[in-house]
Amino acid sequence: MKPVAIFRHFYSEGPGYFATFLDRHSIPWTPIRVDAGEAVPSSVEAYSGLVFMGGPMSVNDPLPWVGQSCALIRAAAAASMPVLGHCLGGQLIAKALGGTITRNPVKEIGWGPAELLDNAEARRWFGDLAGFETFHWHGETFSIPPGATRLLESAHCANQAYARGKVFGMQCHVEMTEEMIRQWCRDGAAEIAAAANSPAVQSPEVMQDGMAPKVAALNAVADRIYARWVEGLNRD
């Protein structure tokens, strides 16, 4: 089986729990560390799927890898290859498929509920869930790309997830581990302080208080999404 390519855009925003899921299911994967200068592949031929992680930059920034990644995403989608995006990754996929990325009304940082929309595509990905508590860290948001279905929303961000065939993009972070939350709180202390007036921003203390059961519950939701996503992988 060809490996799943996982694109990292910032040193502390790696695959997290997604890597644990792949390892548990004996699915090979390879990291592509864009933040460390590793090149975006020019072809999808070497991979069974593409996964794009988060990052503090904007996909509207004039970064050379943004256009390269968008071209790769379009090639994967045209070949019916599974593509998955977390936060910035979800924005990148939306941009590649014809959506737009704009500033969200407020920053969302920390734990918060997300609600499932009542449609068949949402049921395909989330089963009987009505909603769940997820982790957020973003200031921008994507529009739903043409041909995709909106699946998930929160009180402060209308577009939290979408799907189009084997393509799945999220604004929220279901890949979190406890250590990632601690690291992000350390790295993002200034950003948190600057956005403290947002109704959707929590303090580091609140984010980390009692987080073990929250992370475990979020991992269980991620299992649903990831299990559905890997069904589309070519196992040859």
The CA distance from 196 to 205, in Å, is 13
The CA distance from 138 to 128, in Å, is 27
Structure tokens belonging to residue 103: 């500033």
Encoded amino acid at 90, one letter: G
| Active-site annotation, residues | 87, 173, 175
The torsion angles phi and psi of 108, rounded to 5 degrees, stand at -115, 115
Neighbouring-strand partners of residue 52? 7, 85
Going by C-alpha positions, the residue among 46, 40, 53 that lies closest to residue 28 is: 46
Q: What is the 3-state secondary structure (H, E, C) of 146-195?
A: CCCEEEEEECCEEEEEEEECCEEEECCECCCCHHHHHHHHHHCHHHHHHC
The CA distance from 124 to 65, in Å, is 32
The CA distance from 178 to 103, in Å, is 28
